[in-house]
């Protein structure tokens, strides 16, 4: 049986650019969380600047503990095209830990609009979205 946890999280990053935008709350459902790995989920909201690699360039960051396979959180998104990255940060490092190759992620990742990892991270164009009419969206985490 899947457990759903609803959490309201405040952001920890707000860039200067973010102050000039209008923000709207949406519900983000994150599926396929391997909660037995522990750690936390970090959700980043980006415009096209440095998506999805430079976490310090994200407009906002939301964090919550891992406790079930599905989580619903309320996040704020801008009124301009944006993309979302969800990262299962198992070791609380704030970065995506890589496997022995040094470039393949060892932790769970997911992106808005169903964008997938290929021979590198997805482009902003693949993950871009606008505020959904029903104010809800989903991201499925993928693990190595």
pLDDT mean by block of 10 residues, the chain; 144 residues? 50 56 95 96 94 94 94 96 97 92 91 93 96 97 94
Every domain of the chain and the residues it spans: 4-140
Task: Supply the DSSP string of 1-67, one letter for each residue.
Answer: ---EEEEE---S---GGGGGS-EEEEEEEEE---GGG-SEEEEEEE-STTTTT-GGG-SEEEEEE--
Which pLDDT belongs to residue 119? 85
Strand partners, 86: 43, 110
Phi then psi for residue 101, to 5 deg, are -75, -25
Which pLDDT belongs to residue 18? 59
pTM of the model: 0.85
Q: Just give the CATH number of 4-140.
A: 2.60.40
């Amino acid at each position: 049986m899947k457990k759903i946890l609803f959490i309201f999280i405040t952001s920890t990053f707000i860039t200067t650019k973010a102050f000039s935008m209008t923000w709207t709350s949406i519900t983000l459902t994150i599926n396929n969380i391997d909660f037995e790995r522990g750690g936390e989920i970090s959700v980043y909201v980006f415009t096209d600047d440095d998506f999805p690699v430079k976490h310090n360039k994200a407009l906002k960051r939301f964090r919550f503990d891992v406790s079930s396979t599905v989580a619903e959180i309320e996040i704020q998104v801008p009124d301009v095209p944006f993309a979302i990255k969800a990262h299962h940060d198992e070791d609380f490092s704030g970065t995506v830990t890589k496997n022995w190759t040094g470039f393949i992620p060892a932790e769970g990742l997911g992106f808005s609009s169903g964008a997938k990892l290929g021979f590198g991270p997805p482009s902003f164009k693949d993950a871009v979205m606008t505020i959904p009419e029903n104010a809800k969206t989903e991201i499925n985490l993928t693990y190595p």
